[in-house]
Amino acid sequence: MSSDAAMSIRLPPECETALLERFLKAESMALWTVRSARLQDVPPNVYAFLRQHEEDEQQHLAQFETMIGRQPRERERLPTVPRQWPALAVQLYGYESLGLEFATLLVMLRPDLASIREDELVHVDFFEREILRILRGEAAAAEQATVSARAWWRKLPRTLDRYLEGAALDPYRPVLAERILAILEQRFRTTGLFT
Ligand SMILES: [Fe+2]
Ligand SMILES: [Fe+2]
């Protein structure tokens, strides 16, 4: 589904700094998650994609660092990601879908950053195809993916609140959170993660 059509909320220019700040955090988290995922036992085509994916996220992060003028806090350890591929695929798909919605918001205020959104679309499409492959494959793996999707979903409202922190975003947080939840729910239903 097109997130352009669904994301009709217009944010005022005062929200730009807050959004850029959120992106600095989110892109560094994306980068570390991809690095962590590359250390897991994933199918060969996924491993190949993750190399490109890591490069993209590294470049996105560098762009936000330049715009904001500082670096995110360094992590001491890579974040823990699920070891089993179906669960890991759901996590990557979920966070990339979330990233795409944020990129859609950002591009309204910063049309010059459209290439970041295009990369996020590529990431979401890739993991979506992997999710479809898992759901149509072995029953145990498909079951693991749907169980993981429900678990990821339960944590999503809190994740969203964190992603939407910042005084400038206060008046928009409830409506944005509701809208993003609705878009992601629709996405999970369409792929078959939610039945
Ligand atoms: Fe990114
Ligand atoms: Fe991404």
Instruction: Assign 5 a pLDDT band (cuts: 50, 70, 90).
Output: very low
Higher per-residue pLDDT: 176 or 76: 176
CA of 175 to the centre of ligand 2 (A): 24
Half-sphere exposure for 63 (CA within 13 Å, toward CB): 17
Residue 3 confidence (pLDDT) above 80: no
Share of the chain above pLDDT 70, in %: 96
pLDDT digits (tens, 9 = 90+) for 128-142: 999 999 999 999 999
Burial class of residue 92, CB neighbours in 10 A (0-12, 13-18, 19+): buried
Mean pLDDT on 53-63: 95
pLDDT of residue 1: 45
The pLDDT tens digits of the residues spanning 83-128 come to: 999 999 999 999 999 999 999 999 999 999 999 999 999 999 999 9
pLDDT in tens, 21-52: 989 888 998 999 999 999 999 999 999 999 99
Question: Which listed ligand is nearest to 95 at the C-alpha?
Answer: 2
Full-model pTM: 0.93
Residues within 5 Å of ion ligand 1 by Cβ? 27, 57, 60
Report the chain's mean pLDDT, rounded to a whole number. 92
Measured in Å, residue 140 CA sits from the centre of ligand 1 at 31
Ligand nearest to the CA of 96: 2
CB-proximal residues (5 Å) to ion ligand 2:
96, 99, 120, 123
Give, as one character, the DSSP assignment of residue 17. H
- Give the model's pLDDT for residue 71: 85
Distance 100 CA to ligand 2 centre (A): 7
CB 182 within 8 A of CB 6: yes
**CA–centroid distance, residue 120 to ligand 2 (Å):** 4
> Is the CB of residue 185 less than 8 Å from the CB of residue 136?
no
- Cα 100 to ligand 1 centre (Å): 8
Residue spans per domain, the chain: 10-70+80-191
Cα–Cα distance for residue pair 46/69, rounded to 1 Å: 33
> Per the structure block, which two tokens stand in for 45?
């085509």
The first and second tokens of residue 98, run together, are 């979330």
Nearest-angstrom CA–CA distance, 58 and 80: 19
Q: What is the largest CA-CA distance in the chain?
A: 49
Instruction: Say whether pLDDT at 8 is over 80.
Output: no
Which ligand neighbours the alpha carbon of 124 most closely? 2
> What is the Rg, in whole angstroms, of the alpha carbon atoms belonging to the chain?
16
pLDDT value at position 2?
A: 46
Q: Report CA(53)–ligand 2 centroid distance (Å).
A: 7
